[in-house]
Amino acid sequence: MDRHRLSRKTERILDIFPWYGQLLNGVDSTTVQSLSELPLLTSELLERHYYNEQPFDPRINATCYRTSGTSSLRRKAIYYSDEDEQNYIRLKSALFERILKPTQPAIALSDMGTGHAAGTALEIFERIGVQAQSIAFQQPIEQHHERLRTLRPSILYTMPSILDRLLSACEDDPASWGVRKVVLVGEIASPAWQNRIAERLGVQPANITDTYGSIEIGTIAYYSHEHGRYLFVEGIEAEGVPVQALFSEDEPLPENESVLVLTSLTRDLFPSLRYVTYDIVRDLRPIVVDGHRRMSFQALVRRIGPELKHGEKISVYDIEDVVYRHLSDAAVRIHVHANKLTVRVDSGNKAPAIYGAIERELLDRIPEIGVMIRGGILETLRVVPSDVTYDSTVPKHKKIYYD
């Protein structure tokens, strides 16, 4: 990122978010030469200055989106300006056109649960000339299956967790749905998982494309089957930092892994300078694509932050708060395996009724998750007693385990 663009970006952030100047520690925004001179924008800083407060002049026209809770147990507020929305739609439309290359009439079904991606899906498909319909996350899974059977969409836009449930709960052959291409966003979708899904749908693995994004930044990257790697979209500057830059007590990551840090040149109402994603990526490096250097990575490995995706984001803070209402002596670990989420609780109380009550209360902590679980389009969030003793002093970023 050249210093002129960097200075302009920094000045724009200071203009919208005056509090950002407190983080610069004497760095002159007009003379900054590289991203490394600027602070990492961590979740702690965002909780203090952005997520929980009005972070900019309230006269600015903005749309607010809310996602999983912070340490204060309030849901995060994330803002988009009109320009942010238009940039998001423009970039995602270009990406979908590249992925899908619609050369003949196509029908798409958006089965996306809730959130920003779900709310903009139909407009994006319309922009690239694809007829599209969506199905509400409040509908029971039987209605989702019925829509697939009757619409027979050639394109399915969905999340790995929802697609897992659609396939595991269907009584007919999913290849009969007629889906020829799948676009994914949400949870980590490993190559082995994608190959299994492709086999069930009767398509080639190359017809399943994983995309990567976040509500803070928007669309970030997509998997290029041609290059065998994730490529970043226009306007994203990517860095990899060691885990010790965030958690000094942690063991180093393997040599080819790093924590992904992003700067977006197209986001306005989010301070997108060195935003820490808390996602660990493997082999982050530039490659040559169509004669130009493009930053890329091989795979998303796991997250080290205090939140995870289960249809909608849910945080360790939310889960622990519910557990502690019932078991004051508990220590919690969250295990994620094949898009199934299990909360393991170390407590002297093993009474099944207590764990059932925790499961029921968790369904209402993030209401959208509860609706999707009750409707059958998400796996049940299980809460079980642990058969081993946990150290209750483990930091929250170490309480999520990816199997």
**Which pLDDT does position 27 carry in this prediction?**
85
The dihedral of CA 360, 364, 368, 371: what is its sign? positive
**Which pLDDT does position 346 carry in this prediction?**
96
- Superfamily classification of domain 3-80+228-303: ANL, N-terminal domain (3.40.50.12780)
Distance in angstroms (rounded) separating the CA atoms of residues 94 and 106: 17
| DSSP H helical ranges for 293-366 | 316-326, 352-365
Which DSSP state fits 49?
I
Vertex 392 angle, CA 386 and 395, to 5°: 115
Looking at the structure, give the CATH architecture of the domain made up of residues 307-402.
Answer: 2-Layer Sandwich (3.30)
**Which pLDDT does position 176 carry in this prediction?**
95
Segments of the chain scoring below 70 in pLDDT: 103
**Which pLDDT does position 348 carry in this prediction?**
93
Q: What is the dihedral of CA 354, 360, 364, 368, to 10 degrees?
A: 140
Instruction: Give the number of other Cβ atoms within 10 Å of residue 369's Cβ.
Output: 25
**Which pLDDT does position 103 carry in this prediction?**
66
Beta strands in 270-319 (DSSP E): 275-282, 285-289, 292-297, 299-303, 307-310, 312-315
Both tokens of residue 263?
């700067």
Distance in angstroms (rounded) separating the CA atoms of residues 319 and 359: 10
pTM of the model: 0.94
CB 203 within 8 A of CB 209: no
Domain with CATH 3.30.300 in the chain: 307-402
Distance in angstroms (rounded) separating the CA atoms of residues 377 and 369: 10
Fold adopted by 84-215 = Rossmann fold (3.40.50)
**Which pLDDT does position 53 carry in this prediction?**
78
Domain with CATH 3.40.50.12780 in the chain: 3-80+228-303, 84-215
**Which pLDDT does position 257 carry in this prediction?**
98
Q: Nearest CA to 70 among 50, 90, 88?
A: 50
